[in-house]
């Protein structure tokens, strides 16, 4: 079945390239489908309309038992790079959780 994802844009309309990057990053988590069933991704423009916007990216993982597992915020002037960092952190957390579950 795969992992679902909901994306919300705050302070700006969003962009196809940002949504595409989020989709690419979600594929990285597919191997953890036993541990996570859904993701909530919030991308907020903190300085919208500015020549140099600042983006805050928040990623929450939802387990099959409907527990929310937040990932640390990632911020930067490049939304796509902040998304990659959020998914990097999620992947590390899931690798740790998988190792614990397997007793390693």
Establish if 56 belongs to a structural domain.
yes
**Burial of 49 (C-beta count, 10 Å sphere; 0-12/13-18/19+):** exposed
Give the pLDDT of residue 1: 59
pLDDT band with cut points at 50, 70 and 90 for residue 2: confident
* Number of domains the chain contains: 1
Establish if 102 belongs to a structural domain.
no
| Average pLDDT estimate for 64-79 | 94
Establish if 21 belongs to a structural domain.
yes
Q: For residue 104, is pLDDT > 60?
A: no
Separation CA 26–CA 38 (nearest Å): 10
Establish if 77 belongs to a structural domain.
yes
Q: For residue 81, is pLDDT > 60?
A: yes
CATH code of the domain in which 44 resides: 3.30.160.100
Higher pLDDT, 61 or 100: 61
Q: For residue 103, is pLDDT > 80?
A: no
Q: Which domain holds residue 57?
A: 4-86
Establish if 35 belongs to a structural domain.
yes
Q: For residue 30, is pLDDT > 70?
A: yes
Separation CA 104–CA 85 (nearest Å): 26
Q: For residue 48, is pLDDT > 70?
A: no
Establish if 94 belongs to a structural domain.
no
């Amino acid at each position: 079945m795969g992992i679902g994802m909901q994306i919300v844009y705050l302070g700006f309309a969003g962009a196809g390239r940002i949504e595409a990057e989020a989709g690419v990053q979600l594929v990285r988590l597919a191997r953890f489908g036993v541990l996570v069933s859904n993701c909530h991704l919030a991308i907020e423009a903190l300085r919208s309309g500015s020549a140099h916007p600042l983006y805050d990216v928040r990623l929450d993982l939802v387990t099959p038992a409907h527990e929310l597992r937040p990932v640390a915020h990632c911020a930067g002037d490049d939304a796509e790079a902040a998304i990659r960092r959020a998914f990097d952190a999620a992947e590390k957390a899931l690798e740790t959780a998988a190792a614990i579950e397997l007793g390693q």
